[in-house]
C-alpha cells in the first residue's frame, strides 16, 4: 500500500519548501553536506517508514523502493539526482493526498446528515444538547432550516421536509401531526415538536452513517487481486532491478555505474501507487455516488457483483406494487349476506397486522368486541384460525380449506378450491369458513407502482426478470403480464421462495439479485448473491438483512444502482489497464536508458494523479 506521509503533518509544504531552499544552496555551492541535509529534510520519513517495515518483516513497499533508489544514487555520488527525486516524490505524495482527501471529503458531504444538536424541552424551555443525550419520550423542537436529529412522531406542527439526503429525491415531503419523521431530514419551513421514539445510536441517521463508514471493509475480488498483485509485484521488480545491474556488467562487460543508475530508475518507476490508491478510491467513489441517489451499498464487493446481473428477482407486494390493499369484491356463498361475511372476516383478522387484515378491518369500519374472540393462531402461509363465540373460524387462501393444518377442523364437504367465487379475479382472495360452513370469499387488490413499469423495462436490458410471490396464480399472472415480467412463481410460502431462488442461482451465468421489503423476505435476501431492501427508510430489519438498501420504494433505483456499479467497474478496469500499461512502457524505457530518475518520478506521480482523477468520475451519477 502507498502510505501518505502527510496525513498527520500540519503543513508538509513548509518541509518541502525548506528542502528546496537547502538543495538550491547546495547546488550553487556544490556542497555534499548540504545535499545530504536537503535529502534528509525531504526524505527522513520515507527512510524511517522503510526501516520500521523491514523490522516488521514488511520489506517490499514503496518506501523501500524509494529509499533504495535514492541511497543508491548517493552511493554513486549522484547527490543532486537523489535529493531532487526525493523532493519530487514528496510533492507527488502531497498532491496525491490532496486529491484523495478532496474526494473523500466530497463523498462525506454527500452523506452530511449527522445532526450537530437537538433542541430539548426542559421545564417549558428548550436547550441545545448533543443528540445522544436525548432519551426516548423526550420532546424536541425542530425549527426551519434545522436537521431533524432523531427519529420520532410529530406531536405538533406541519412542515415541508427535505428527505434528499436519505432518499436522493429532491421533492420535499409534507408532514403533519401524528406522522413519523426520520433523523437526517431537513425542515424546510414551519416548526415541529417531535416526541423521540429512538435513541440516537439506534436512529436512522446513525445506522446509515455506520453503514457507509464500514462499506470499505468488504473488499471486492478486484481489490484483493490488487493487494496480492502488489505483494508479488514489488519483490519481482527488485529482483529485476538487481538483474539489470548484474547481467550486463558481469556477463557483457557493461559499465557498472550506468547500469546501476538504470536499475535505480527502474525501481522508482515501479512504485505501484497508481493501482493501490486508485482502485479502492474508485469503489469508494462509486459507493458515494450511489449514496447521493439514496442507494446505500454495504461494501464495494456488492458493487462488483451488481455490475454483472444474470437475474433480478422481485417480491411482488410492496416492492412492485404499492402494498396498499383495499377490499374490491365480496362474494358471499348462497344464503350468506355481505355484512355477515365481512363481519366474520374482520373478527377473524382482529389480532393480525398484515396489510390484508388491516384492509378487511378498515372495510368493516365498526367496533370489534374483543371478548367474543378466543384462541387465535396463525396457520403459516395459509391463514388464521380463531374462535368467535366458541365457533371455529378460518380465514385464508385457497389452500387453507384443503389443508388447514394440524388440529384445525373445517368440517366435512368444504372444498374452497372448486368454488366459482375465487375464479377469474385480480387480487388476493381471503376465504371464510365458519363452523365448517363456507361463508364466501373477499378479494383484496393491490395497485402496481407507476415506477415499476419503467423500472422493469430498463432492467430487462441487463438481466432476466423474475417475480416470486405468495399471492395466487391469477393475481401474480395479472401483475407479470402488466409489467412484462419474464417468469413468475405464485402461491409460494417463505421457504418455497428460498427453494425457487436456489434453483435460479444454480442455473445462473452471473449474479442473482433479490429485491424485497427486507422484513418478510429476510431469508431470501440473505440467500441471494445480492439482497436489496426496497423502501428500507427507517426499517431496522431492512438495513440488517440486505446488502443494498434503497432508501425509498422506487424499483427504478435498482436500475440506477446497476448503472452506477457498471460505471464504477469500467473506471476501475480503465485504471488497472492504464496504470499497468504505462508502468510497463516506462519500465522498458528506464531499463534501456531512455528515462532519467527525475522523469521516472514525474511519470509515477502523473499516472497516479490521472488514475485518482479518473476514479472521481464515479461520484457523478
| Beta-bridge mates of residue 482 | none
Q: Which residue has the higher pLDDT, 426 or 63?
A: 63
**Strand ranges inside 191-274, DSSP E:** 192-196
Which of 379-417 are b and which e, b meaning 16 or more Cβ less than 10 Å from the residue's Cβ? bebbbbbbebeeebbbbbbbbbbeebbeebebeeebebe
Q: Exposed, middle or buried: residue 217 (CB in 10 Å: 0-12, 13-18, 19+)?
A: exposed
Question: Angle 387-393-396 (CA atoms, 0-180°, nearest 5)?
Answer: 130
User: What's the pLDDT score for residue 63?
Assistant: 80
Question: How many Å apart are CA 541 and CA 366, to the nearest integer?
Answer: 33
| Three-class SS state of 449 | coil
Sheet arrangement for strand 186-189: 173-175, 159-162, 186-189
Q: Which of 110-114, 133-137, 280-284 has the highest mean pLDDT?
A: 133-137
Beta bridge partners of 387: 374, 392
- What pLDDT is stored for residue 201 in this prediction? 84
Q: For residue 26, give every residue at least 6 positions away whose Cβ sits within 8 Å of its Cβ, in sequence order, or none.
A: 32, 34, 35, 37, 38, 79, 80, 83
Query: How far is it, in rounded angstroms, from Cα 367 to Cα 47?
Result: 81
Please give the average per-residue pLDDT across 191-205, as a whole number: 88
Whether 605 and 96 have beta carbons less than 8 Å apart is answered as: yes
Q: Mean pLDDT score of the chain, rounded to an integer?
A: 82
Mean pLDDT of 48-58: 86
Task: Give pLDDT, residue 352.
Answer: 83
Predicted local confidence at residue 402, as pLDDT: 37
- DSSP E strands in 67-170: the ranges are 118-122, 125-129, 139-142, 152-156, 159-162
What pLDDT score was predicted for residue 474?
A: 80
Ramachandran class of 133: left when φ > 0, alpha when ψ lies in -120 to 50, beta otherwise: alpha
Residue range(s) occupied by CATH 3.40.1110.10 in the chain: 322-447
CA-based angle 193:540:119, to the nearest 5?
A: 25
Residue 610 Cα distances to 90, 435, 614, angstroms: 17, 77, 6
Does residue 404 register a pLDDT over 50?
A: no
Residue, of 550 and 98, whose pLDDT is higher = 550
3-state DSSP call for residue 484? coil
Q: What is the fold of 295-320+449-551? A: Rossmann fold (3.40.50)
Please state the rounded mean pLDDT for residues 86-113.
69
d(CA 503, CA 468): 12
Indicate the range of 14-18, 223-227, 403-407, 487-491 predicted with least confidence: 403-407
Give the residues across from 488 on adjacent strands: 467
Please state, in angstroms and as integers, the Cα–Cα distance from residue 366 to each residue in 339, 347, 360, following that order. Answer: 11, 11, 11
Q: What is the DSSP letter of 146?
A: P
327 pLDDT higher than 80: yes
Asked if residues 79 and 32 have their Cβ atoms less than 8 Å apart, the reply is yes
DSSP 333: P
- In the numeric block, which cell numbers belong to residue 131? 443528540
pLDDT in tens, 2-49: 544 444 444 788 889 999 999 999 999 989 999 999 999 998 988 998
CATH of domain 322-447: 3.40.1110.10
Q: Phi, psi (5° rounding) for residue 491?
A: 55, 40
Cβ distance 412 to 423 under 8 Å? Answer: no
CATH 3.40.50.1000 residue ranges of the chain are 295-320+449-551
Distance CA 279, CA 157 (A): 48
Name the one residue in this structure whose C-alpha cell is 414551519: 190
What is the rounded distance in angstroms from the CA atom of residue 577 to the CA atom of residue 583?
A: 10
Residues carrying an active site annotation:
315
C-alpha distances in angstroms, 425 versus 21, 236, 330, 430, 445?
A: 86, 70, 11, 12, 9
Average pLDDT estimate for 364-383: 85
Q: Name every residue whose Cβ is closer than 8 Å to that of residue 545 and which is 6 or more positions away in sequence.
A: 518, 519, 521, 522, 525, 526, 531, 533
By three-state DSSP, how is residue 380 classified? coil
pLDDT beyond 70 at 550: yes
Q: What pTM was computed for the model?
A: 0.71
DSSP states of 269-317: HT--HHHHHHHHHHHHHHHHHHHHTTEEES-HHHHHHHTSEEEEEEEST
Asked if pLDDT for residue 520 goes beyond 80, the answer is: no
Among 387-396, 411-420, 435-444, name the one with the lowest average pLDDT.
411-420
Burial class (CB in 10 A: 0-12, 13-18, 19+), 18: middle
Amino acid at each position: 500500500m502507498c502510505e501518505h506521509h502527510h496525513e498527520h503533518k500540519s503543513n508538509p509544504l513548509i518541509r518541502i519548501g525548506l528542502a528546496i531552499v537547502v538543495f538550491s544552496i547546495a547546488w550553487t555551492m556544490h556542497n555534499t553536506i548540504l545535499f545530504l541535509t536537503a535529502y534528509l529534510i525531504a526524505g527522513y520519513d520515507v527512510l524511517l517508514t522503510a526501516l520500521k517495515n523491514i523490522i516488521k518483516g514488511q520489506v517490499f513497499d514503496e518506501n523501500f523502493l524509494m529509499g533504495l533508489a535514492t541511497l543508491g544514487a548517493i552511493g554513486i555520488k549522484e547527490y543532486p539526482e537523489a535529493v531532487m527525486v526525493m523532493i519530487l516524490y514528496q510533492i507527488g505524495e502531497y498532491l496525491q493526498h490532496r486529491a484523495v482527501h478532496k474526494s473523500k471529503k466530497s463523498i462525506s458531504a454527500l452523506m452530511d446528515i449527522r445532526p450537530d444538536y437537538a433542541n430539548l424541552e426542559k421545564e417549558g424551555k428548550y436547550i441545545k444538547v448533543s443528540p445522544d443525550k436525548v432519551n426516548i419520550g423526550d420532546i424536541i423542537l425542530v425549527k426551519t432550516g434545522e436537521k431533524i436529529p432523531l427519529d420520532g412522531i410529530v406531536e405538533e406542527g406541519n412542515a415541508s421536509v427535505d428527505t434528499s439526503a436519505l432518499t436522493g429525491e429532491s421533492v420535499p415531503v409534507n408532514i403533519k401531526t401524528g406522522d413519523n419523521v426520520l433523523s437526517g431530514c431537513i425542515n424546510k419551513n414551519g416548526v415541529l415538536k417531535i416526541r423521540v421514539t429512538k435513541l440516537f445510536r439506534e436512529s436512522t441517521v446513525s445506522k446509515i452513517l455506520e453503514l457507509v463508514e464500514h462499506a470499505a471493509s468488504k473488499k471486492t475480488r478486484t481489490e484483493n487481486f490488487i493487494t496480492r498483485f502488489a505483494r508479488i509485484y514489488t519483490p519481482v521488480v527488485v529482483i529485476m532491478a538487481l538483474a539489470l545491474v548484474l547481467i550486463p556488467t558481469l556477463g557483457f562487460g557493461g559499465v557498472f555505474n550506468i547500469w546501476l543508475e538504470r536499475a535505480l530508475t527502474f525501481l522508482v518507476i515501479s512504485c505501484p501507487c497508481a493501482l493501490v490508491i486508485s482502485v479502492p478510491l474508485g469503489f469508494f467513489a462509486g459507493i458515494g455516488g450511489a449514496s447521493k441517489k439514496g442507494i446505500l451499498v454495504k461494501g464495494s464487493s456488492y458493487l462488483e457483483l451488481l455490475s454483472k446481473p444474470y437475474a433480478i428477482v422481485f417480491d411482488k407486494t410492496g416492492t412492485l406494487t404499492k402494498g396498499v390493499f383495499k377490499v374490491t369484491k365480496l362474494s358471499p356463498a348462497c344464503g350468506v349476506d355481505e355484512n355477515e361475511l365481512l363481519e366474520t372476516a374482520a373478527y377473524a383478522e382482529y389480532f393480525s397486522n398484515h396489510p390484508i387484515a388491516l384492509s378487511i378491518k378498515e372495510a368493516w369500519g365498526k367496533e370489534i368486541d374483543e371478548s367474543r374472540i378466543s384462541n387465535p393462531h396463525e396457520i403459516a402461509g395459509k391463514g388464521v384460525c380463531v374462535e368467535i363465540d366458541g365457533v371455529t373460524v378460518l380465514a385464508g387462501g385457497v389452500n387453507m380449506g384443503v389443508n388447514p393444518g394440524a388440529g384445525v377442523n373445517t368440517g366435512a364437504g368444504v372444498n374452497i378450491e372448486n368454488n366459482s367465487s375465487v375464479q377469474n379475479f385480480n387480487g388476493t382472495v381471503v376465504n371464510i369458513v365458519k363452523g365448517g360452513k363456507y361463508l364466501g370469499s373477499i378479494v383484496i387488490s393491490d395497485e402496481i407502482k407507476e415506477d415499476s413499469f419503467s423500472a422493469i423495462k430498463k432492467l430487462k436490458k441487463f438481466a432476466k426478470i423474475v417475480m416470486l410471490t405468495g399471492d395466487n396464480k391469477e393475481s401474480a399472472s395479472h401483475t407479470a403480464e402488466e409489467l412484462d415480467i419474464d417468469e413468475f412463481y405464485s402461491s409460494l410460502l417463505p421457504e418455497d421462495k428460498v427453494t425457487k431462488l436456489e434453483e435460479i442461482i444454480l442455473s445462473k451465468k452471473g449474479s442473482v439479485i433479490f429485491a424485497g421489503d427486507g422484513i418478510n423476505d429476510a431469508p431470501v435476501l440473505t440467500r441471494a448473491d445480492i439482497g436489496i431492501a426496497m423502501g428500507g427508510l427507517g426499517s431496522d430489519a431492512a438495513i440488517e438483512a440486505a446488502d443494498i438498501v434503497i432508501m425509498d420504494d422506487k424499483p427504478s433505483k435498482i436500475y440506477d444502482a446497476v448503472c452506477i456499479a457498471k460505471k464504477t467497474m469500467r473506471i476501475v478496469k480503465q485504471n488497472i489497464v492504464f496504470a499497468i500499461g504505462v508502468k510497463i512502457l516506462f519500465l522498458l524505457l528506464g531499463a534501456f536508458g531512455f528515462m532519467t530518475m527525475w522523469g521516472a518520478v514525474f511519470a509515477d506521480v502523473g499516472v497516479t494523479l490521472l488514475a485518482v482523477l479518473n476514479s472521481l468520475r464515479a461520484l457523478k451519477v
